[in-house]
Amino acid sequence: MMVSNAWISLGGNLGNVKETMAYALQYLDRHANCRVVAVSSIYKTPPWGRTNQPWFLNACAKLTTTLEAASLLQLCLAIEQKMQRKRIEKWGPRTIDIDILFYENQSITMLGYLILPHPRISERAFVLTPLKEITPNLLLDGESIARRAERFQNESILKLSIEKPWWGGRGEKLHQ
């Protein structure tokens, strides 16, 4: 079985979001085909897309997995469902949102289902900022995540001071 790297984002603004994200990461890490190898800090960020709602907590993680990208997406959707994610309104409030950002260096298009790299990474400071923390040199269209994140330095993003590993995992922090 081939082991692949994948990067995900997690976020939410309903309920105990830190606890919900921690549970999602623990679930992924305990899955037979996944390991969480790096997790960013948690960031408090303004809502995006629909602004009249509570602020979000966001984080990113790097996984190693033997799952194909579509199977990893199914696992993430199952975790969201387990955490009572309701898909009522686009960009609306949610207990948790788990997005696959990158799967290896592959471009994948399954229209209406999965597009990788995630098509809106470059528009989202709430993704670029935590992603930069764990993998600054990862390239998107030939430009590093660190360089792309620089464009959002003036955004209202607050890094929370929470002891690591905040998610209750093994505490590995690998940079690549």
Cite the active site residues. 85, 94, 97, 99
E runs forming strands in 66-132: 97-103, 108-110, 114-116
**CA–CA dist 91, 6 (Å, integer):** 23
Burial class (CB in 10 A: 0-12, 13-18, 19+), 113: exposed
**CA–CA dist 152, 123 (Å, integer):** 9
